[in-house]
Amino acid sequence: HDMKKYVLLSLCLILLLALGSCGNSGSEDSGNEADMQEFPSFTGLDLDGNSVNSDIFSENSVTVVNFWFSSCSPCIGELSELDSLDQELKEKGGAVIGINTDTLNGDNSMIEEAKKILMQQKASYRNLYFDSNSGDAMDFANSITSFPTTYLVDRGGYIIGDPVVGSIDDESTMKMLKKRIDKIIENDKDVPYQDNE
């Protein structure tokens, strides 16, 4: 009799788990947003000690978020390319931000190391790390297994499309990335803004 109860309970659990992992199953009809992933909200600091949080996305039509770490040579190899991209995007209302996963726990020696590398590579765009209370963002960063990995995030804080895994310093990858960026900027312009007219 106990066995029967146990089996039933297990079945219920399995069903619950299966349902729980479907995410937005109820909102298929709400168009695109159902399969859009939001960049986890965070608070933190940039490498110069200024506070920063996920509101940073709302400032730009598109934010290119590049995850890297200090002993990853393909990551370091693309920093100057990312800096050029950042300069280009500033003209269009976008930005590049870097997240060096070695600095995520606020380790000062790692922060100094990252700053040194960025300086050597003449990369002046903003790099930041999360506060310890940014659990979801921390988990998100820790779930990245290949570096560098680059995400495109829109003004609403949603990740658009698949991440670019691997360095973007070859011409065809950069071309593809810029195409995707332009599309996001274009879509952002379609949103009616409050004009000061």
88/29 Cα distance (integer angstroms): 37
> First-to-last CA distance in the chain?
76
Rg (CA), the chain: 20
Q: Is residue 1 very low, low, confident or very high in pLDDT (cuts 50, 70, 90)?
A: low
Q: Please name the helix (run of DSSP H) or strand (run of DSSP E) that holds residue 54, with its range, or none.
A: none
Burial zone of 114 (CB within 10 Å; 0-12 exposed, 13-18 middle, 19+ buried) = buried
Backbone torsions φ then ψ of 125, nearest 5 degrees: -70, 165
Find the range with the poorest average confidence among 10-14, 56-60, 67-71.
10-14
| Residues 6+ positions from 180 with CB-CB distance below 8 Å | 152, 160, 161
> Which pTM does this prediction carry?
0.80
| pLDDT tens digits for range 69-123 | 999 999 999 999 999 999 999 999 999 999 999 999 899 999 999 999 999 999 9
